[in-house]
Structure 1
Amino acid sequence: MSPVRAALNLAFADGKVTSDFAWREDLKPIKNASRRRELYLDRKQRRNLIAHAPPEIAPFLQCLSMLPLRPGALAALQVADFNARLKAIRIVTA
């Protein structure tokens, strides 16, 4: 949740949202929950998640289920990263 909190706080700091009320309390770190969780959704679970997701995020979730990318790397992709001639996507990592 740290990256999510950081993104939301940045949006607040940049003035893209008017308040941090929605996540200030609800997204506080959970005590003693510092280790990474290993979770994998099988194909049926992924399809169910995508089918029930809001239409604005469903394409993003579908891409995440097809490409071995972190959400931030997928979100950073631009149309210019796609080479139609080679049918390839250029993925730049920091």
Structure 2
Amino acid sequence: MKTVNVSLQVLPGVPECEIYDVVDKAIEYIQSTGVKHIVGPMETTMEGEYDQLMDIVKRCQEIVFENGAERVVSVIKIDAKKDGVTMDEKIYKYR
């Protein structure tokens, strides 16, 4: 599959005072992968190959569990076009 965009929002089942710490661990992992990404206030959007991004989503869920969550709700949005899609083509006029 060509380049896709995947947005991931993780909602960890931890006490409210721990949410940012746990979510930060998932974001740190995304950053460590080297994929192009944008961290937003509600979700992180990544750009890359579908299988690679889905592996990152899976690992982020594992990280949330490893950092104390008893449950995690993940909201995932995927934008794919036959010839590929980039974040830049969607937001260039706002940058």
Q: Given the two structures, how large is their TM-score scaled by the length of structure 1?
A: 0.25
* Structure with higher strand content: 2
Structure with the larger RCO, 1 or 2 (CA within 8 Å, 6+ apart)? 2
Q: Given the two structures, how large is their TM-score scaled by the length of structure 2?
A: 0.25
